[in-house]
Structure 1
Amino acid sequence: MTRFIFLISCLFILLSCNSSDDEAPTSNPAVLIGTNLMINGVSGTTALTYDNNILTGFTEVFNASGSMSDREIQLEATNGVITRYTESYIDQGSGFTCYIILNFSYDDLNRIDAITGEGDCPLNIYTIEYINDTVVFDSPLPNEDKVVKMNQDGRIVYYEYKNLILDMEYENGNLISKTRNSSRTINYSYDSKVNPYRTDAFLNFGKIQEYIKIMKGTNVLMEDLDDYRNVNNLVSRTSTHSDLGIDDLSYSYEYHSNNLPDKRFRSVGNGVTQYLYE
């Protein structure tokens, strides 16, 4: 049993990593450098930066009825793993700002064995135990522990928190279902084209997202679409029970000749996402 102490941001910009390197990303014929988004009157842009085929940062800017917000993340990597994470967030409408730096070191199994942080956002302390395929998130607060199991690709297959259990199922590298307490299920379907985020450059960042979702909690785990790690592009999301609080979604795509999506059209909110490539 290995026990690690993690410093975690209350704003959910928290990071960790799984040890498995078995996940094989798709070799994309073009590099995604950003997106343009328009949905329900909200416009947004995302810009991605790389160095030696490793994601080093991205910037998001959103404009909702003239109220601007932007987030910038910078990543530094050593030997192919993220060792430093810097994030700043500004909401010009509310005046809220946040800045944080997190530093990571890894053990011989490529798991984070130390993390330190600084910034102007409060930090909570968690103890992480690795027990075979189980990761236990020990909280200093009573009744706040979480238990997670992951598959060989480092993707969540089981999540337990208080009286709630989530089971996740994958097929051909895609998330196909989430089931809450063995009775309420969300189902996902996909196209047969290439997911532009499924690349070597996003591989380590995609693994980190698994831990971010755990720290954000149950609602985020239920809502998340796992965009960074699925092999193909999401076509639909449907839920068996309305009390899950998850809206049904459907997407259609326009594709480049290289099988990468050019535009994604969302059925709800008349949303359009344009993918930008280098």
Structure 2
Amino acid sequence: MANKKKYFEFGGEMSLEDFIFHFKLNKKLIIIFTLISGALGFFYGSIVPPDYHGEVLISPSKVSNLNAVELRSTAARMLFDDFFDKETLLECHTNQSTTESVNNKAMSRIVKISVDGDYIKIEMNSRDKNIINNCLNKVSDSINKNEHLIFNQLRDEKQIDLQLNKEKLKLFQDFIESLTLKEKNSLNFNGEEFQKYTLHQLIVFDISQKIMSIKLDIIKIQRDLSPLKTYQSYGLFPIKIEKNYFPSPQLGLLLGIFLGFSLSVTATLLKSSWFN
């Protein structure tokens, strides 16, 4: 058994055979300590409230298939004092008792707003699923409200431009019609009348080109204002709330067993090293 004492020396090498021999010598202490640690881990995982993670994706408002608001500016604007109203702040700051203690900077530590591809991603962690659901709904409403103001302005500008083009088109068409009518009434002409006729034709040709251009502009604006290219922001999916893996009774049990076994083996090795 002389060779069995070698691994007891601090810093000495230890083979698998040495480890098995050591475990047999101290199995009662190691098993008891491991079971106690596993039970404590299971108990901790059972009494600690579960932690939840919630997230929602928002498709931003678009006008002419372009974002009404630059995505990254939305995440930055949440630091401004007027981005979230008091109702939203209180909904997310459930641990706060007064409105004076809540603000947008504190809000940025509770709710994370980031850019995920072409969408705005809102995330939040809490031990209460209702808090996550209510808070993310309020934050989504605040983002939609801010985007809708800019969206409505840009859409109204497009609609005004469309209306102006339609009025311009009607004026040109009426003018062409009046010139054509004069031309029909002046079929018999010579000299000066022929020059007038030629001038009329040139004017008609020029205005016809303008009419064609206006029609193309109208078609483009109408396509830009179609629901496929112009729409207000909306939640892409319902709010998704998932339970985080830790803590849980099963994970607490496994972690307790692992730590208990590791610590008990280490402690008995150190004890053997000190006493030999």
**TM category, shorter:** under 0.3
Higher relative contact order, chain-length normalized (CA < 8 Å, sep 6+): 2
Of Structure 1 and Structure 2, the greater strand share is in 1
Structure with max Cα Rg: 2
